[in-house]
């Protein structure tokens, strides 16, 4: 079955003929007098029917052996780090989601986990990082917010040759346009808050894995102990969201390509970052591992910070707000959000292209640039 069908028909847990599944809010389930299991669930922090359904659905969509859902993308990222022992090392791509960088810099030292950030678009930098024997290589492709593209298969092969596992945070490229596990990586991580939910109204995260060598039990155990549990309502909302993922993302991608092309033609713009623009440095690789370029476009405005902020303050349809993947278009000056330690250029505006008519979005940006 193709992913569009899987998203709608897996799992088939219709119990009473209802076409839309029920939400099961119970925090506790009956057990025997000596805690004998009578039903599939006992306590909400261990598991819930809506969370189970979502995990099954996402695992099928990712061609994964299994999936564990969390309260947020950051809870999922943290759980993956917590599978490592003190002394282990993580090799990160340098320009990744800023709170993952904060997790590395502020919390990992407390746990004795070492890390290094390198430009993993460069195979030589990857090889130098792998020489230090990391346990885990952490990629984002496309990366947030610079839209760097990393050759997922080449990185997975190189990492595996030194015994490292690989995770791809594929939040910018949901499984209808990129399935990292198909290119040999061990884990795919998603913030469900973005395209999977798709309507800027829920938070969640997930890790899907290629092989269940005890991974499900390990991640579910960490979730149980640390409590980063996805609520049944949010699980239900994401299950609902992913059923329209293919349609929504197709339109996000078409709109984003139109916006990227229009902006690339403007004299006020120094650089457009979009993986499916022929001029993008990641274009060739993106064409091999993605079926469309995604809904995110980043642009560098000539004139630096002040010129970028001027555009962000003049747009009318685009709203200045963080996050991405919703139906409405958003704009954000990422350097202002990420703070002093950021590696994001001051001239960069990140655009989350929504589902509006592309000519309206382009007209809004052009009017703000003029």
Ligand X SMILES: *Cc1c(COP(=O)(O)O)cnc(C)c1O
* Residue numbers annotated as active site: 45, 97, 169, 194
Work out the number of other CB atoms within 10 angstroms of the CB of residue 38. Answer: 11
Where is 31: in which H helix or E strand? none
With beta carbons less than 8 A apart as the criterion, state whether 324 and 352 touch.
Answer: yes
- Residue 207 DSSP one-character state: E
Nearest distance, CB of residue 333 and ligand X, angstroms: 16
Nearer to ligand X, 89 or 194 (CB): 194
* Closest CB to ligand X among residues 149, 369: 149
Q: Which residue's beta carbon is nearest to the bound ligand X?
A: 73
Taking the least distance from each CB to ligand X, the nearer of 193 and 368 is: 193
Give the chain's radius of gyration (CA, Å). 21
Strand (E) or helix (H) holding 190: strand 187-191
Nearer to ligand X, 81 or 369 (CB): 81
Residues 334/344, Cβ–Cβ less than 8 Å: yes
Instruction: List alpha helices for 45-97, DSSP H.
Output: 49-61, 73-81
Q: Among all chains, which residue has been given the structure tokens 């109204």?
A: 201
Residue 129 CB, nearest distance to ligand X (Å)?
Answer: 20
Give the C-alpha distances (Å, rounded to integers) separating 268 from 271, 273, 319. 9, 15, 20
- Minimum distance between the CB of residue 305 and ligand X, rounded to whole angstroms? 22
The CB-of-204 to ligand X minimum distance in angstroms stands at 7
Residues in the site for ligand X, rule: CB under 6 A?
72-74, 97, 140, 144, 169, 171, 191, 193-194, 203, 205
Least distance between ligand X and beta carbon 365 (Å): 22
End-to-end CA gap in the chain: 48
Closer CB to ligand X, 207 or 311, in the complex: 207
Give the chain's length.
Answer: 370
């Amino acid at each position: 079955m193709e992913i569009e069908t899987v998203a709608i028909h897996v799992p088939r847990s219709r119990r009473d003929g209802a076409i839309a599944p029920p939400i099961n809010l119970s925090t506790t389930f009956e057990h025997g007098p000596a805690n004998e299991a009578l039903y599939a669930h006992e306590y909400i922090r261990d598991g819930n029917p809506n969370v189970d359904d979502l995990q099954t659905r996402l695992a099928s969509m990712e061609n994964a052996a299994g999936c564990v859902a969390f309260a947020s993308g950051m809870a999922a990222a943290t759980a993956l780090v917590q599978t490592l022992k003190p002394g282990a090392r993580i090799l990160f791509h340098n320009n990744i989601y800023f709170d993952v960088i904060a997790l590395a810099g502020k919390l990992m030292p407390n746990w004795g986990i070492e890390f290094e950030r390198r430009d993993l678009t460069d195979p030589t930098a990857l090889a130098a990082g792998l020489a230090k024997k990391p346990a885990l290589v952490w990629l984002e492709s496309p990366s947030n917010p610079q839209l760097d593209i990393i050759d997922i298969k080449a990185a997975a092969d190189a990492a595996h040759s030194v015994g490292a596992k690989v995770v791809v945070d594929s939040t910018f490229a949901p499984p209808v346009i990129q399935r990292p596990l198909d290119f040999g990586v061990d884990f795919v991580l998603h913030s469900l808050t973005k395209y999977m939910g798709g309507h800027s109204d829920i938070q969640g995260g997930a890790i899907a894995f290629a092989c269940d060598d005890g991974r499900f039990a390990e991640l579910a155990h960490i979730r149980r102990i640390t409590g980063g549990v996805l609520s049944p309502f949010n699980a239900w909302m994401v299950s609902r969201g992913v059923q329209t993922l293919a349609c929504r993302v197709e339109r996000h991608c078409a709109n984003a390509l139109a916006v990227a092309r229009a902006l690339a033609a403007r004299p006020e713009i120094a650089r457009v970052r979009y993986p499916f623009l022929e001029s993008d440095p990641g274009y060739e690789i993106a064409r091999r591992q993605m079926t469309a370029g995604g809904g995110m476009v980043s642009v560098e405005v000539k004139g630096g910070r002040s010129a970028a902020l001027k555009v962000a303050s003049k747009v009318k349809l685009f709203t200045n707000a963080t996050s991405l993947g919703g139906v409405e278009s958003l704009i954000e000056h990422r350097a202002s959000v990420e703070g002093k330690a950021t590696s994001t250029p001051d001239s960069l505006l990140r655009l989350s292209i929504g589902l509006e008519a592309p000519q309206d979005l382009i007209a809004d940006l052009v009017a703000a640039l003029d």
